[in-house]
Amino acid sequence: MDQIDAILNRDWEAATQRGKETLAGPLAESACYDQPSGEVVVQLNNGAVLRIQSTLLQGLENATPEEMADIHIGGRGTGLHFPHLDADFYVPALVEGVYGTPAWMHGLKQKLAHQKAVLTASGRRLTGVRHQKKTGDHRNVS
Q: Where are the domains of the chain?
A: 26-95, 102-140
Query: How, if at all, do strands 129-131 and 28-34 pair?
Result: unpaired
Is 90 exceeded by the pLDDT of residue 124? no
Measured at the CA of 104, the angle between CA 76 and CA 73, to 5 degrees, comes to: 15
User: For the residues 110-136, what does the mean pLDDT come to?
Assistant: 69
Rounded to an integer, what distance in angstroms lies between the CA atom of residue 141 and that of residue 134? 17
- Backbone φ and ψ for 117, nearest 5 degrees, come out as -65, -40
What class, spelled out in words, does domain 26-95 have in CATH? alpha beta
Task: Give residue 100's pLDDT.
Answer: 96
Do 33 and 54 contact (CB within 8 A), yes or no? Answer: yes
Query: How, if at all, do strands 72-74 and 87-90 pair?
Result: unpaired
User: For the residues 44-50, what does the mean pLDDT come to?
Assistant: 95
Whole-prediction pTM: 0.68
Closest of 68, 59, 65 to residue 104, by C-alpha: 59
Amino acid at 104: W
